[in-house]
Amino acid sequence: MVLLATCAASAQTPSEKRLQWWREARFGMFIHWGLYALPAGEWKGKPIPGIGEWIMNRAKIPVAEYEQLAKQFNPVRFNAEEWVAVAKSAGAKYIVITSKHHDGFAMYGSKVSKYNIVDATPFHRDPMKELAAACQKAGIRLCFYYSQTQDWHEPDGNGNTWDWPDESKKDFTRYLEEKVKPQVRELLTNYGPIGLIWFDTPRIITKAQSQELADLVHQLQPDCLVSGRIGHGIGDYDSAGDNQISVGTVKRDWETPVTMNDTWGFKKDDNNWKSTTVLIRQLCQIASRGGNYLLNVGPTAEGLIPQPSVERMAQIGQWLKVNGEAINGASPSPFPYELTGGLITTRPGKVYLHIFDWSRFAACCGPSQDIALGRLYGLQSKVRRAYLLANNSTLKISQKYYKATDLDQLQIQLPAAAPDANDSIVALDIQGEVRVDTSLRQQPNGVVTLPAHLGEIHNSQGGGLRIDSRGVVENWLRADEWMSWDFKVNDRGTYQVVLVTSEQKYGRGWEGGHRVSLDVAGQHLEGTVSNDGKEENPGDAYWPYVVSKIGSLKISKAGGYHLELKPQEIQALKKFGLTLVSVRLVPPAGMVTM
Ligand code: JFZ
């Protein structure tokens, strides 16, 4: 018996055990707060471009000058309980706050370095102590951001090349031993249980050093998670790039940190706030792909979270109050592709259809003008009941299997208008486990989307075509590499073939002019990837899509098809090459399915 118990306990790795609460949580609040909130994006009367917490670096402010900020830093309006209440009102389950950012200033009382909020500012209080108490009271997990590699205040830290230009003279190990490790020890000793340490920008840290740091964390608090940005794949989970939403192909646990405007640390002139609708949909999109959402606020030097952030957090919370069962503790979509006009999350016995775009999901009207008909393909589990989470009203459904096209179809009678402008959720009570047809197939609006990340890659020797974390092709630089897809079509007709490609990170550009050929259903198409227009990328505003029309294609019979996309010539001067997102087959307007 004893032996059995030991075996059962060891089935879960220590990392999995640590991840348990975090997987359930799905949603946390990030706080970037430090001395940089004082200049708030402006230095000596000049606006400094870029993210607020990087001002010391961007304006190349000497340590001796930046240090003076500490003497003015007096956030008298800081109230830990109010901040925790903001997180609580949002429905966030954890808070990650900057204990030390790249500027090297400790936002807690540190014995290791005098350069900290208790000793160096007129405030003299330890906000982390106060937050720890408030979090404990509210049932929120407190977590610390800690910049382990970059430290612009230390001669041996990484990144300050304006005070100490000769990086070869820097003794990074000394900095790690004398500042980082002792400070991490303080953070994990003096503030009670800590949910995770959010290390960041690993840069020059070695694999052995990352490992030592992770070991130190786990030695002090075995349940404390370590973020992926500790480096070298050593963390308990991966961090996506800032503001990037990974596709569901990511196998490890992951989290996306997101800004509410365009900065992390407070900037007085940044009013480019994302709408609550965008934020709610990001949360849903990330949950449906199995990730966590870490949404940032940047408090002022007075200690206040900006009002637009407080409002958005509360609005997200109002939505979660009604719809939280489809997010917190929910599992990702069982489908490898996205729904048309929305997405899916699940939990045992339930499937949640998150409908963002009512008119695209409910393609046409039902028996009367005030009923819309929504369809879902590929769900094989029996649905016992469908209802709207918004008001618990039961919806009429019919479920059919069409043998000729091997199609499971669920049809739902919906009200003509969306009950929730952000995301209306149709909950399905299902019998048994969720079972779905995972093959790529035409969607109820008639469009066939063949996403790059679901295609087969045919690499050539020495070639490098691969899929990045966004699900976009990178490194397709050679014409001897190609891709193929298998998919199912229900409707006969003539389809427009469109290639969707992506601009590269933060508008670094796009490359076109590639000549490609497509073979499908006995037809051979040739065309050029030219810019026929841009499209908003629903997952990431920073990287718009570029669409190119390649030609048209005739499907004369429902069934399974195979498509091969082979380039004849790739333009790769900028090294972007063919950044494929998907191949899209668009039916003629008005074609109605089944
Ligand atoms: C880092 C920091 O430099 C920044 O100040 C902020 O704290 C942010 C949350 O993290 O910036 C990064 C780190 C990684 C990526 C982008 C920005 N990335 O992987 O794309």
Summarised one tens digit per residue, pLDDT across range 263-300 is 999 999 999 999 999 999 999 999 999 999 999 999 99
Range in 167-176, 392-401, 440-449, 582-591 with the lowest mean pLDDT: 582-591
Ligand 1 pocket: which of 33, 35, 261, 264 to mutate (most atoms <8 Å of CB)?
Answer: 264
Q: Compute the average pLDDT of residues 145-172.
A: 97
Report, in angstroms and rounded to the nearest whole number, the Rg of the chain calculated over CA atoms: 26
Cβ atoms of 140 and 193 within 8 Å: the answer is: no
Give DSSP secondary structure letters for 468-536.
-TTS-EE-B--TT-EEEEEEEE---EEEEEEEEEE-BGGGTB-----EEEEEETTEEEEEE-----EE-
Give the pLDDT of residue 250.
Answer: 62
Cβ atoms of 545 and 501 within 8 Å: the answer is: yes
Give the pLDDT of residue 363.
Answer: 63
DSSP letter at 165 equals: -
Question: Ligand 1: distance of its center to the CA of 201 in Å?
Answer: 7
Give the pLDDT of residue 10.
Answer: 55
Counting from 1 in the atom list of ligand 1, the atom nearest the Cα of 30 is: 9
Query: Could you tell me the CA-to-CA distances from 198 to 24, 213, 230 in Å, in that order?
Result: 18, 12, 8
Question: Ligand 1: distance of its center to the CA of 156 in Å?
Answer: 21
Three-state DSSP class for 401?
strand
**Ligand 1 site residues, Cβ closer than 6 angstroms:** 51, 53-54, 200-201, 241-242, 257, 264
Closest residue to atom 3 of ligand 1, CA basis = 201
Question: Ligand 1: distance of its center to the CA of 229 in Å?
Answer: 9
Q: Compute the average pLDDT of residues 544-567.
A: 95
Is the alpha carbon torsion for 268, 274, 275, 277 positive or negative?
A: negative
Give the pLDDT of residue 470.
Answer: 81
Q: Which of 543, 544, 551, 534 is nearest to 586 (CA)?
A: 551
Q: Which two tokens stand for residue 432?
A: 């048994």
Residue 400 neighbours by CB under 8 Å, 6+ apart:
408, 409, 411
Counting from 1 in the atom list of ligand 1, the atom nearest the Cα of 240 is: 19
CB burial string 14-23: b at 16+ within 10 A, e below: eeeebbeebe
| Residues facing 353 on adjacent strands | 344, 426
Percentage with pLDDT > 90 across the chain: 85
Counting from 1 in the atom list of ligand 1, the atom nearest the Cα of 98 is: 7
DSSP letter at 452 equals: G
Give the pLDDT of residue 227.
Answer: 97
Question: Ligand 1: distance of its center to the CA of 373 in Å?
Answer: 43
Question: Ligand 1: distance of its center to the CA of 43 in Å?
Answer: 22
Question: Ligand 1: distance of its center to the CA of 257 in Å?
Answer: 9
Q: Which two tokens stand for residue 35?
A: 């001395």
- Per-residue model confidence as pLDDT tens digits over 204-231: 999 999 999 999 999 999 999 999 999 9
Q: Which two tokens stand for residue 411?
A: 């049809």
Counting from 1 in the atom list of ligand 1, the atom nearest the Cα of 244 is: 20
pLDDT band, residue 355 (cuts 50/70/90): very high
Closest residue to atom 20 of ligand 1, CA basis = 241
CA–CA distance, 204 with 215 (Å, rounded to integer): 19
Three-state DSSP class for 54?
helix
Place of tokens 């953070």: 187
Ligand 1 pocket: which of 97, 242, 244 to mutate (most atoms <8 Å of CB)?
Answer: 242
| Residues facing 187 on adjacent strands | none
Counting from 1 in the atom list of ligand 1, the atom nearest the Cα of 32 is: 7
Of the chain, the end-to-end C-alpha distance in Å amounts to 58
Question: Ligand 1: distance of its center to the CA of 427 in Å?
Answer: 36
Give the pLDDT of residue 306.
Answer: 98
Closest residue to atom 8 of ligand 1, CA basis = 242
| Residues facing 43 on adjacent strands | 46
Closest residue to atom 13 of ligand 1, CA basis = 201
Range in 2-11, 38-47, 394-403 with the lowest mean pLDDT: 2-11
CB burial string 125-157: b at 16+ within 10 A, e below: bbbbbbbbbbbeeeebbbbbbbbbbbbbbbebb
Q: Which two tokens stand for residue 568?
A: 């004849």
Alpha helices in 346-485 (DSSP H): 358-361
The pLDDT of residue 460 is above 50: yes
Cβ atoms of 375 and 442 within 8 Å: the answer is: no
Q: Compute the average pLDDT of residues 460-488.
A: 93
Cβ atoms of 297 and 98 within 8 Å: the answer is: no
Q: Which of 382, 388, 90, 448 is nearest to 260 (CA)?
A: 90
Q: Count the neighbouring beta carbons within 10 Å of the beta carbon of residue 180.
A: 26
pLDDT band, residue 370 (cuts 50/70/90): confident
Mean pLDDT of the chain: 93
CB burial string 384-394: b at 16+ within 10 A, e below: eebbbbbeeee
Range in 38-47, 138-147, 312-321, 413-422 with the lowest mean pLDDT: 413-422
